[in-house]
Amino acid sequence: DSGVTQTPKHLITATGQRVTLRCSPRSGDLSVYWYQQSLDQGLQFLIQYYNGEERAKGNILERFSAQQFPDLHSELNLSSLELGDSALYFCASSVGAGQYAYNSPLHFGNGTRLTVT
Amino acid sequence: GEDVEQSLFLSVREGDSSVINCTYTDSSSTYLYWYKQEPGAGLQLLTYIFSNMDMKQDQRLTVLLNKKDKHLSLRIADTQTGDSAIYFCAENDSWGKLQFGAGTQVVVTP
């Protein structure tokens, strides 16, 4: 058990809908990362938050947004869903960011499997 | 730019050693990682190595790093059926986020 909790485990929804994925980081971790895993794109970095602030942005679509709350949990919001958004969405957490990030391994949750029909 | 490459498939007999190879491009990476993903599961951190090290051993796992060639390998000794999984190599950037390879599927046969 990595200590990172993601809910829900599975989500089935229709095109055009909006969903929210939730992540609770490991106790003491300040950084949260979101990744998307699909068969054709592999593991793609979406976005990183550190202590409530956005730190880095990757291949995140404009239809997607995220935030990290004062209690450090994070939510990833996916809107106007398309069939191609079907994927496994992972959250990871680590202790630090910035100058201390390099020695903070990422610990991953078990993911949320999103199916868009 | 950042790019991590791995071979896609490895078949190994139970009891033999497995060697999974990876090449990376970002010479500023400070740590390099190996993650394991079993079917339907998340990514499990297996081990990681600091970029100024050549080798790290952890029980059945041995990581070798050739920084000059930007080559990383993971050796699994006495491979077991429970080692069947996808193994991802990853490098970090200064903010800690990881760039992953496409993953190597390891199949262990009896």
Q: What number is the average pLDDT over the span B37-62?
A: 92
pLDDT for res B52: 85
- Please name the residue of chain A whose CA is at the shortest distance from the CA of residue B40: A110
Residue of A nearest to B36 (CA): A108
Cross-strand pairs, B17: none
Does the distance separating the beta carbons of A94 and B92 come in below 8 Å?
A: no
Residues A103, B98: C-beta atoms closer than 8 Å: no
User: What is the band of B104 on the pLDDT scale with cuts at 50, 70, 90?
Assistant: very high
Look over chain B and give the mean of its residue pLDDT values, rounded to a whole number.
91
Structure tokens belonging to residue A60? 């995140």
pLDDT digits (tens, 9 = 90+) for A76-115: 999 999 999 999 999 999 987 655 555 678 899 999 999 9
What is the three-class DSSP state of A21?
Answer: strand
Residue B36 has pLDDT above 60, yes or no: yes
Is the pLDDT higher at A102 or at A62?
Answer: A62
* pLDDT for the residue B108: 97
Enumerate the residues of chain B whose CB falls inside 8 A of the CB of residue A104.
96
Which of B44, B96, B101 shows the shortest C-beta gap to A101?
B96
Q: What is the pLDDT of residues B68-89, one digit of tens each?
A: 899 999 999 999 999 999 999 9
- Over range A10-31, report the average pLDDT: 96
- Residues of A at the B interface (Cβ-Cβ below 8 Å)? 2, 4, 31, 33, 42-43, 45, 48, 55-56, 58, 90, 92, 94, 96-99, 101-111
Provide the b/e sequence for B57-84 (b: ≥16 CB within 10 Å). Answer: eeeeebbbbeeeebebbbbbeebeeebb
B83, B16 Cβ separation under 8 angstroms: no
Residue A111: predicted pLDDT? 96
d(CA B23, CA B91): 10
Residue B51 reports pLDDT greater than 50: yes
Rounded to the nearest 10 degrees, how much is the dihedral formed by the CA atoms of B94, B28, B20, B83?
A: -20
Helix (H) or strand (E) holding A108: strand A107-108
Tell me: pLDDT of B22 over 90.
Answer: yes
Give the per-residue pLDDT at B96. 74
Indicate the helix (H) or strand (E) that contains A75: strand A74-78
β B61-66/A19-24 pair status: unpaired
Q: Is some CB atom of chain A closer than 8 A to the CB atom of B39? A: no
pLDDT value at position A40?
Answer: 81
| Residues with Cβ within 8 Å of residue B101, at least 6 apart in sequence | A42, B4, B5, B6, B22, B88, B89, B90
Question: With an 8 Å Cβ cutoff, are A103 and B30 in contact?
Answer: yes
Residue with the two structure tokens 């090449």: B23
* Interface contact B45-A107, CB threshold 8 A: yes
Strand partners, B88: B35
Q: Is B52 on the interface with A (CB under 8 A)?
A: no
Question: Number of residue pairs across A and B with CB atoms under 8 Å?
Answer: 67
- Kindly determine whether residue A103 and residue B31, on different chains, have CB atoms separated by under 8 Å: yes
Q: Is B46 on the interface with A (CB under 8 A)?
A: no
Q: Do B88 and A48 touch (CB under 8 A)?
A: no
Of A21-25, A88-92, A104-108, B63-67, minimum mean pLDDT range = A104-108
Angstrom distance (rounded) from CA B76 to CA B20? 8
DSSP helix/strand/coil, B100: strand
pLDDT at B1: 42
Q: Do B53 and B64 meet the contact criterion of CB atoms below 8 Å apart?
A: no
pLDDT band at A10 (very low <50, low <70, confident <90, very high): very high
Binary contact (B45, A56; C-beta < 8 A): no
Provide the 3-class DSSP secondary structure of residue B75.
strand
